[in-house]
Amino acid sequence: MTKYIGFDFGGTTIKPGVVNEKGEIIEKTAFPTPKSRDTLLDSLMKTIEDYQQRYQISAIGISSPGIVQSDGRLMTAGAITCLNGVNLKPILEKQTNLPVSIENDANAAAIAEHWIGAAQGVNDYLCLVLGTGVGGGIVINGQIYRGRHGMAGEFGWMVTKNFSLTENMENKSLNATSAVVDGLCLRYTKAKRQIKPRFRRVKDARIIFKAASDGDKLAQSMLEEFYHDLSVGLIDLMACFDPELILIGGGISASTEFADGLTTALSDMKTRHKSLYRIRTELDIPVIPAKLSNDAGLIGAVYQSFHK
C-alpha cells in the first residue's frame, strides 16, 4: 500500500509520521519545534531521509499553523515565526524529489475529520484546534472555506473581552485566553509567579487539571476562566456560521475533564444569551471532541498530499 510522510507543525512540537492511503498511521514520532529556520529544515530532512530508507514514499504533506497561501507560502506560521514568509513547498520538493502539499493545521484537522473522523457525512461544520494557539477550520457545503487571502478560520485572533486602548488587542483574543499553551498554561504560570517568582513555566495542561483536582484554588479559577472565555468564542461562532457541528481538536480534546468542564460552561453561557436561549429547542449545535484528537493534523496533511 502507498505510504506518505506527514508533518504536523506546532509551536511547541513537530509531529511527523508515515500514513497510508486509508488514513492509518503506520508510525509516528515527535520532536521539539526548532527556533531557527535552518535547524527546522535540517530536522525535516533527517526525518524524511529516515522514513525513505524504510518505506516507499510517494508524497509529503505538511500541516502548519498560520495563513497558508495556495502556492504553499506561509504568510504567517503562528508561533513558528522563523517560517513567516517562507515557501517550504519548492524547498522540500527540490531536496526530496517528491511532491509536497502544505495546509493550514486547522483545515487539515477538519479535512481529516470529514475523511475518517467525527464529521463524516456532515457538510457544514467548524473545527477548532486548541494547542499553542487557537486554529480554526471552516467547512461549508463540504468544502474548506479559505477566504480571499487564505486567512479564514483564524479564530484565535477573535477579540472576545474588553481591552484597554493602551494595550495590544490580541491580549484579549482567543489565542491569549483559550489556547492551551499560550493561553491557559501561560496564564496559570503568570498567576503562580505572582506568588512564586521562580515558578517554572507550565506547558502541559494536565499539570493544571491535576492541581485543580488536588484542591489548588488558583488552578480551579484559571480553568473556570478558560472554559468561560472559550464558551464566549463558541457562541460567537454559532451566531456567525450556524454550523451543523463544532469539533474541538488538539491534545486537550481527549481529556474527559476538559469535555465536562466545557460542556457545563457552554450550557451556562447559553442561558445568559437571550436570543440563543429563546430558540434553544430549535437550535441544537453539538460541540464535541474531534475523533482523531492529536492525530487529525497529521492525517489531514497526508490526505491533502494525494487529493490536491
Structural domain spans, the chain: 3-111+294-307, 121-290
CATH of domain 3-111+294-307: 3.30.420.40
Q: Which amino acid is at 210?
A: K
What is the 8-class DSSP label of residue 141?
T
Q: Do domains 3-111+294-307 and 121-290 have the same CATH topology?
A: yes
Closest CA to 233 of 252, 221, 246, 220: 246
pLDDT digits (tens, 9 = 90+) for 206-257: 999 999 999 999 999 999 999 999 999 999 999 999 999 999 998 899 999 9
Strands 100-104 and 57-64: parallel
Q: What is the Cα–Cα distance from 225 to 221, expressed in whole angstroms?
A: 6
pLDDT digits (tens, 9 = 90+) for 258-291: 999 999 999 999 999 888 888 888 888 999 999 9
Query: Phi and psi (nearest 5°) for 136?
Result: -145, 140
Q: What is the Cα–Cα distance from 66 to 104, expressed in whole angstroms?
A: 6
Per-residue pLDDT band at 302 (split at 50, 70, 90): very high
- 8 Å CB contact between 306 and 1: no
What is the 8-class DSSP label of residue 183?
I
Residue 114: strand pairing partners: none
- 8 Å CB contact between 28 and 38: no
- 8 Å CB contact between 68 and 75: yes
Element (DSSP H or E) covering residue 25: strand 25-28
Q: What is the CA radius of gyration of the chain?
A: 19
pLDDT digits (tens, 9 = 90+) for 83-116: 999 999 999 999 999 999 999 999 999 999 999 9
Closest CA to 13 of 54, 64, 85: 64
Write down how long the chain is.
Answer: 308
Query: Phi and psi (nearest 5°) for 8?
Result: -110, 105
pTM of this structure: 0.88
Look at the alpha carbons of 206, 106, 292, 230 in this order and tell me if their dihedral is positive or negative.
positive
Q: What is the Cα–Cα distance from 157 to 135, expressed in whole angstroms?
A: 9
Closest CA to 107 of 296, 305, 308, 306: 296
CATH of domain 121-290: 3.30.420.40
